[in-house]
Amino acid sequence: MSKRLKDLEEELIRLPMTAGFIEQIQLLTQRYGKEYEESAEAILALVEKLDFDISRISKIYIYDYLKQMHYFLNYGSYGNKDYENIREEIYDNEEIMMNTYYPGLLMSYVYTTILYDKLKYCNEFFIPDLKKSAKGIEIGFGEGFYLWEILRKRKDVHIDGFDVSEYAMKFAQNLLDKGDVPEEQYCLAYGNVLEGINVEDSVYDFAVAAELIEHVPNPQDALREIARLVKPDGLLFLTTVIDSNHMDHITNFESINQIEKMIQKEGFCTVEKRQYVMTDDFPETKDKSKGIIFISRKM
């Protein structure tokens, strides 16, 4: 285990209520060994370059995660405000987005199995299948993690990123700069998938919608807009969750089959799909989250 990963584990040990996250690090280390450690090391090195307090960020993110999970277990719903209120109180709040939300999301790829599983799937089944010199789009790029992951591994690819938060542009730009991704590989701009992205039809060879559709009140409309932007035979990498609350999750889904039907309705066929269930690895956990991954091709 790398020094940075050991240091993180020691930081978590000092914090109350983090035993489940330590177990997830240990499982990922056992299951994937060097592959996981190299990925975690790269993320932690990037966090270090961004000059964030790992202990503070981990504490805030984990405690909020546990609070939201507790709410869902008690009430059986996400219970968050509507999209416009969330946008005003969270996405347009510089302090929350820049110092808590985005750093916490970035860190979570190190110590949550559900997110690392999605990252691994992306690296194994999506990134290698992108066409040479492909042009892609990411809707709701947030902290910029998938922009960084794809562009650092595929130097020939270009991605246009769109997000509703001005702070996404600021945070992701800094992350990509510190992550040594050349500016000619990407373009970041404002874009709301529910209002329509100001781009012509069938422009992109691929689209990324990572952790997007649970954040909107009408995910079918979001998928329709994404489909409009992708060329025939283009790829879609989509991830979401079921029964997994967060401060800004609005839409929960009944099953992976429901999500697949929504994607297929917009003209995509499934290439690969996966459902990761927390209780499969941790039978005693109260966390019932399911991580959903689809790689689909536009017909």
Question: E strands along the chain, which residues?
Answer: 135-139, 158-163, 186-190, 204-210, 230-242, 268-277, 290-298
Same domain assignment for residues 74 and 138: no
pLDDT digits (tens, 9 = 90+) for 197-212: 999 999 999 999 999 9
85, 111, 137 - which closes a domain: 111
Higher-pLDDT residue of 11, 226: 226
Q: Return the pLDDT at 100.
A: 93
Residue 33 clears pLDDT 90, i.e. is over it: yes
Q: Return the pLDDT at 119.
A: 98
SS3 (DSSP) at 207: strand
The torsion angles phi and psi of 253, rounded to 5 degrees, stand at -120, 155
The average pLDDT across 61-78 equals 94
pLDDT digits (tens, 9 = 90+) for 111-123: 999 999 999 999 9
Positive or negative, the Cα torsion across 246, 247, 248, 251?
A: positive
Question: E strands along 40-197, which residues?
Answer: 135-139, 158-163, 186-190
The average pLDDT across 177-186 equals 97
Q: Most distant CA pair in the chain: distance in Å?
A: 52
- The C-alpha atoms of residue 109 and residue 91 are separated, in whole angstroms, by 21
Same domain assignment for residues 132 and 241: yes
- The C-alpha atoms of residue 280 and residue 276 are separated, in whole angstroms, by 8
Length in residues, the chain: 299
Same domain assignment for residues 25 and 92: yes
- The C-alpha atoms of residue 77 and residue 251 are separated, in whole angstroms, by 9
Same domain assignment for residues 159 and 281: yes
What pTM does this model have? 0.97
Contact 112, 287 (CB under 8 A): no
- The CATH number of whichever domain residue 273 belongs to comes to 3.40.50.150
The number of CA neighbours under 13 Å toward the Cβ of 254 is 5
The average pLDDT across 16-30 equals 94
Same domain assignment for residues 179 and 228: yes
111, 140, 172 - which closes a domain: 111
Same domain assignment for residues 104 and 129: no
Tally of domains within the chain:
2
Same domain assignment for residues 145 and 90: no
Pairing, β 158-163 against β 186-190: parallel
Same domain assignment for residues 147 and 220: yes
The average pLDDT across 36-58 equals 94
81, 111, 141 - which closes a domain: 111
Same domain assignment for residues 171 and 147: yes
Same domain assignment for residues 117 and 244: yes
Residue 1 clears pLDDT 80, i.e. is over it: no
Same domain assignment for residues 104 and 130: no
- The C-alpha atoms of residue 205 and residue 134 are separated, in whole angstroms, by 6
Same domain assignment for residues 134 and 279: yes
Domain containing residue 71: 3-111
Whole-number CA gyration radius for the chain: 18
Residue 17 clears pLDDT 90, i.e. is over it: no
